[in-house]
Amino acid sequence: GLRREISSAATGRPIQDVIQTDAAINPGNSGGPLLDSSGNLIGINTAIYSPSGASSGVGFSIPVDTVGGIVDQLVQFGKVTRPILGIKFAPDQSVEQLGVSGVLVLDAPPNGPAGKAGLQSTKRDTYGRLILGDIITSVNGKKVVNGSDLYRILDQCKVGETVTVEVLRGDHVEKIPVVLEPKPDES
């Protein structure tokens, strides 16, 4: 199967366009090749879903086209650099309860990309009442309904790129340019 989506066990981020295979993937096979019947590399094995916990189940591989971009980064920088907005955001269910769709900014530290650009964090007033931060509704014109959407869009961007983040701030919409930065532990 093609164009499947799984969640990263390490980060929870969605991994898009993976190949689903019934070829046996055993513990330790991650990072190994997935070959077609002619011996051509078509993917890199990354995960298995096994209801029983055995090595049987459904395997998932990163397509070779995706791997190409990652290899270029490894050769150039010695590591994979993922662009970030530098925010913490509320769980999707919290935003749904507010009756809006988007990603609610809980924290946008001033030294991060979103903070430098002026995105507003959720905070409390002097009486302890909650004042909602910005709600991200789109990035570069692509609609953001939840955190997975935000990750999907950012994964198509590059470090140093300027993106237009559309936010719902109070009762009006603002478009804010944000320069994406690498994750701090990757710089």
In this predicted model, what pLDDT tens digit does every residue of 127-171 receive, in sequence order? 999 899 999 999 999 999 988 889 888 888 888 899 999 999 988
pLDDT given at position 187: 42
For residue 8, the model assigns a pLDDT of 60
pLDDT of residue 177: 97
Is the pTM higher than 0.75? The answer reads no
Q: Identify the DSSP state of 102.
A: S
Question: What pLDDT is stored for residue 107 in this prediction?
Answer: 95
Task: State the average pLDDT over residues 102-129.
Answer: 94
Report the C-alpha gap between 142 and 15 in whole angstroms. 18
- List of long-range contacts for 87-90, beta carbons under 8 Å, 24+ apart: 87/112, 87/114, 87/119, 89/136, 89/147, 89/150, 90/122
Give the residue-averaged pLDDT of 109-133: 94
Which residues touch 81 (CB under 8 Å, ≥6 apart)? 73, 159, 182, 183, 186
Q: What is the mean pLDDT of residues 77-88?
A: 84
Which burial class, exposed, middle or buried, applies to 75 when counting CB atoms under 10 A from its CB (0-12, 13-18, 19+)?
Answer: exposed
What was the pLDDT predicted at 96? 85
* Average pLDDT of span 30-56: 76
| pLDDT over threshold 70, residue 87 | yes
